[in-house]
Amino acid sequence: MTQVYDPTAPIPEVIQNLRRSVGDLTGKVVGFIDNAKPNFNLLADDIAELLTSRYGVKTIIKRAKRGASMPATEQVIDELAAQCDLVVTGSGD
């Protein structure tokens, strides 16, 4: 056997924790970041309707990115973080 270097870098293990538990959705404010993929807006519309009519969500706030491969603006993130109890992001291809 011979010795060679492993060319990879270990992926840092970051343990993700929810900042807080939302629990019951009644009266909550839910945000959507539309990732600008085709049809995400339609999916978000349907989910928003269900969240409001079936689970008692009080307010839905929708904001869009310019394109799927770019991050949401800091302004959008700050706004949703300040106003929402939870935020949904996702791909709607």
Partner 1 sequence: MSAAPLTRAMLVEAPDDLDELIEFFHARRWSDGLPIVPPTRERVERMLSCTTRKPDEVVANVAPGFGAATVERIAINAVMAGCRADYLPVLIAATEAMTAKEFNLQGIQATTNPVAVWLVVNGPIAEQLGVNGGMNCLGQGTVANATLGRALRLILQNLGGAIPGEMDRATHGQPGKFSFCCAENEAQSPWEALHVERGFKRDQSTVTVIGAAGTHNMNTHAKDADDLIRVIADTMAFPTSNDYWIAGEPWIIVSPEHAEVLHAGGLSKADVKRRLWEASKMSAGRMAKIELARTQTARSEELGPITTNTLLPVSRGPEDVGILVAGGPGTHSVYVASFGDARAVTREIV
**Contact residues for partner 1, defined by CB under 8 A:** 1-13, 36, 38, 64, 66-67, 69-71
**β-pairing verdict for 29-34 and 59-64:** parallel
Torsion of CA 74, 79, 81, 85, to 10 degrees: -150
At 14, the amino acid letter reads: V
The residue among 13 and 24 lying less far from partner 1, judged by its C-beta, is: 13
The CA distance from 72 to 75, in Å, is 8
The residue among 16 and 26 lying less far from partner 1, judged by its C-beta, is: 16
Task: State the nearest-atom distance from the C-beta of 30 to partner 1, in Å.
Answer: 21
The residue among 12 and 23 lying less far from partner 1, judged by its C-beta, is: 12
